[in-house]
Structure 1
């Protein structure tokens, strides 16, 4: 069961990084002229 918890935390970490990457991409596209 501990392995499942670690796997869940890993997926949550990846989701958090993906969300931050999306936010950063949106900010870059918004700040860029065009």
Structure 2
């Protein structure tokens, strides 16, 4: 599903994808914390 962007577009892709990745990482972190309890 996710295509690897060309190097030149990598920075823009990171900026565009940051909110989604942040939410994903936050959910993963919460899940790991809950599992660890």
Q: Which residue in 2 is equivalent to 1:31?
A: none
Q: TM-score, normalised by structure 2?
A: 0.56
| Count of matched residue positions in the alignment of Structure 1 and Structure 2 | 24
TM-score for the superposition, normalised by structure 1: 0.60
In structure 2, distance between residues paired with 1:4 and 1:10: 10
> Highest CA radius of gyration, 1 or 2?
1
Q: What residue ranges of structure 2 are gaps of 5+ in the alignment?
A: 1-12
Greater relative CO, 1 or 2 (CA 8 Å, sep 6+): 2
Q: What RMSD over aligned residues (CA atoms) do the two structures have, in Å?
A: 1.1
Quick check: which one's helix share is greater? 1
